[in-house]
Chain A
Amino acid sequence: MSKDWPLWEVFVRSKGGMAHRHVGSVHAPDGEIAVKHARDTYTRRMEGVSLWVVRSSDIHASDPADDAQNFDPAQDKIYRHPTFYDIPEGITHI
């Protein structure tokens, strides 16, 4: 039965101000039910305050075959990291 239903990717916002993070997927016949399935599957232990679902087939992904050209060039560009800045005290979530 669940194979008759499309797959949906689930994103949970753990608390206000935080970004939605990918947590997994559910099967559901439509978006509305997918949100309910996501609620019942992924937020039953107070994991979240907001949910997004998106049809898995609507996601465009990078090709693993292109990993070298996509990601390797960043490896020797350490200066792109913001670690050279001093973070003022009391700033969280960075």
Chain B
Amino acid sequence: MPSLPPIRPEDESRARRQPPVGAFDPRPVDGIDVPLVEYLLRLGDDSLVLGQRLSEWTGVLPTVEVELSIANIALDLIGQATLFLGRAGEVEGRGRDGDRLAFHRDVLDFRNCLLVEQPNGDFARTMARQFLFSTWQKMLFEHLMSSSDELIAAVAAKAVKEVAYHQELAADWVIRLGDGTEESRARMKDGLAWNWRFVPELFAQDEVDFEMIERGIGANVLAFRDDYFRGVQEVLTEATLEAPADQRPILGGRTGHHSEHLGHILSTMQFLPRAYPEATW
């Protein structure tokens, strides 16, 4: 069997010019602000997928207090997703609202980072993921508060308070488990090691980001990269843990190249609206 031809730079640039729709979706009409739609999907999908992931803990956690903490975070995130995806649908102008985007897109059309779709694992791994993500999201929203897009600025201003709490709670648990018993420490170490390879993607930027930054809509994540790693290190120091060794970064979520886990999340999340499209409550 002949091998596939190599991917040339011109193929990549052609792929980048493609609109953010799947192969079987209708092509968008001219005049859609594709980079803005992409950017809003990235923001919305991060929150949506992590919110769904965290919801998996509901009814399973051993204490009602921790369960409420996790469920509250999940609800905050899904609230953010509703606003970002709703706006994405408006800008796109093809009649898709936030629900349509959340429940009727397939894996390849999701734009979340890979970190948020990682399995919960144990409580330590969930908290390690939350800490790494919320620390980033808080800094991102602080920058997006001055976005030239009114909705993004407004949502960021509201959500930054929610996320500041997520970050603090997760950091508290990283510290307590890291500086806890022998077992909790080992589990937190494993949790951080599992999630660490997905952090570089949070600071990877492509044409969509560059255009959004240029238009004053998006945030330049490199502006807070050093602060991020300093903040993470401070918490790890308090937790008496060392940062995991850097591994080969895994990228691709922003362009729809997801891990095998996302499909499983979507099959649970999207089952009802797909099986009963007209269902209301």
Partners in one complex: yes
Chain A residues with CB under 8 Å of chain B are 1-2, 5, 26-30, 32-33, 36-37, 39-41, 44
* A40-B68, A44-B68 known; A33+B63 contact, CB < 8 A: no
Least distance between B59 CB and chain A CB atoms (Å)? 15
Chain B residues with CB under 8 Å of chain A are 62-66, 68-69, 72, 165, 168-169, 172, 176
Task: Enumerate chain A residues within 8 angstroms of B68, measured Cβ to Cβ.
Answer: 37, 40-41, 44
Contact of B65 among A30, A32, A40, A44 (CB under 8 A): A40
Task: Enumerate chain B residues within 8 angstroms of A30, measured Cβ to Cβ.
Answer: 176
Known: A37-B65, A40-B72, A41-B65. 6 other contacts (CB 8 A): A2-B62, A2-B64, A30-B176, A36-B69, A36-B172, A39-B165
Task: Enumerate chain A residues within 8 angstroms of B64, measured Cβ to Cβ.
Answer: 2, 41
Least distance between A56 CB and chain B CB atoms (Å)? 14
Write the chain A residue with the least CB distance to B168: A36
Task: Enumerate chain B residues within 8 angstroms of A1, measured Cβ to Cβ.
Answer: 62-63
Least distance between B249 CB and chain A CB atoms (Å)? 32
- For the complex, give the distance between the alpha carbons of A41 and B70 in Å: 11
Task: Enumerate chain A residues within 8 angstroms of B66, measured Cβ to Cβ.
Answer: 37
The 7 A-B pairs with the shortest beta carbon distances in the complex, nearest first, are A1-B62, A2-B63, A37-B65, A40-B69, A40-B68, A26-B65, A40-B72
Q: Is the CB of A29 within 8 A of B176?
A: yes
Least distance between A85 CB and chain B CB atoms (Å)? 44
Q: Is the CB of B65 within 8 A of A27?
A: yes
